[in-house]
């Protein structure tokens, strides 16, 4: 019954998140009675998301799916990462590599993705309903302070580690050294190609003169 546990958890989470979405549930209207099925390589069962009356039902039923995506969590993560880095999506490339398979109405998948991307929850507002405005404000300030501190510490540690590895211990080459090396390799490669062309020319001249 593991699929049912997962379906139940996902359904609860998705509907809870949708109910907290500050943009409301109107976007779901366009997907009424539409089903998106996701078959992940990591699971031996599909997950079907059906929209009904502003709710999302999660089942393992595949009898009626408007769009089916066969992929893996790894591929989805890679896609998301490319989107975040504003790189061109390589969906076609992934389909060619058989990492992703899309069947049915792609628009349905896009609409589901658009809803997921537009999901925005005002956590402060939600928290304030439970603990009050002032504690929420204080807690948020504390959260920001801790987050900044962690971010700063993270940057500092990275810089220090880099300094130590590159300059003090000389265990890792610096980026400019690496680019110099790359340029040298490219130069050498070009020279080798040039030399090869000359040898070919000389060989062809030699063979012509020996024939005469």
Residues near another protein, by CB under 8 A: 1, 3-5, 7-8, 33, 50, 52-53, 55, 57, 59-61, 63-64
Shortest Cβ 130–another protein spacing (Å): 24
The secondary structure element, H or E, covering residue 65 is: none
Shortest Cβ 66–another protein spacing (Å): 10
Shortest Cβ 57–another protein spacing (Å): 5
Residue 133: count of CB within 10 angstroms of its CB: 12
* Complex with another protein: residue 39 or 50, whichever CB lies closer: 50
Shortest Cβ 125–another protein spacing (Å): 25
* Complex with another protein: residue 33 or 158, whichever CB lies closer: 33
**DSSP assigned state of 1:** -
* Complex with another protein: residue 3 or 166, whichever CB lies closer: 3
Taking CA atoms, 171 is separated from 72, 158, 168, in Å, by 37, 15, 8
Helix pair angle (123-131, 133-163), 10° resolution: 130
* Complex with another protein: residue 45 or 121, whichever CB lies closer: 45
Rounded Cα gap, residues 178 and 169, in angstroms:
17
Residue 103 CA, chain-centre distance (Å), reads 21
Please, are residues 43 and 7 in contact by the beta-carbon 8 Å criterion? Answer: no
Residue that the structure tokens 């340029």 belong to: 183
Shortest Cβ 55–another protein spacing (Å): 7
* Complex with another protein: residue 7 or 79, whichever CB lies closer: 7
Shortest Cβ 59–another protein spacing (Å): 6
Q: Go through 33-70 and write b for each residue having 16 or more CB atoms within 10 A of its CB, e for each that does not.
A: ebbbbbbbeeeeebbbbbbeebebbbbeeeeebbbbbb
Residue 157: count of CB within 10 angstroms of its CB: 10
* Complex with another protein: residue 2 or 130, whichever CB lies closer: 2
């Amino acid at each position: 019954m593991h699929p049912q546990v997962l379906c139940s958890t996902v359904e609860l989470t998705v509907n809870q998140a949708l109910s907290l979405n500050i943009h409301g549930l109107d976007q779901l209207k366009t997907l009424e009675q539409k089903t998106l099925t996701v078959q992940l390589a990591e699971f031996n069962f599909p997950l079907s998301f059906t929209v009904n009356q502003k709710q999302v039902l999660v089942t393992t039923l595949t009898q009626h799916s408007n769009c089916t995506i066969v992929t893996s969590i790894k591929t989805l993560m890679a896609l998301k990462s490319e989107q975040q880095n504003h790189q061109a999506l390589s969906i076609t490339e992934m389909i060619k590599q058989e990492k992703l398979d899309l069947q049915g109405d792609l628009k349905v998948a896009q609409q589901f993705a658009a809803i997921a991307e537009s999901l925005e929850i005002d956590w402060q507002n939600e928290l304030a309903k439970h603990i009050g405005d002032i504690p929420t404000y204080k807690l948020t300030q504390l959260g920001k302070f801790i987050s900044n501190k962690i971010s700063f510490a993270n940057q500092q540690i990275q810089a220090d580690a880099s300094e130590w590895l590159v300059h003090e211990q000389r265990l890792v080459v610096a980026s400019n050294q690496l680019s110099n090396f790359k340029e040298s390799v490219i130069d050498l490669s070009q020279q080798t190609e040039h030399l090869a062309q000359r040898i070919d020319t000389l060989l062809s001249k030699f063979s012509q003169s020996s024939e005469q």
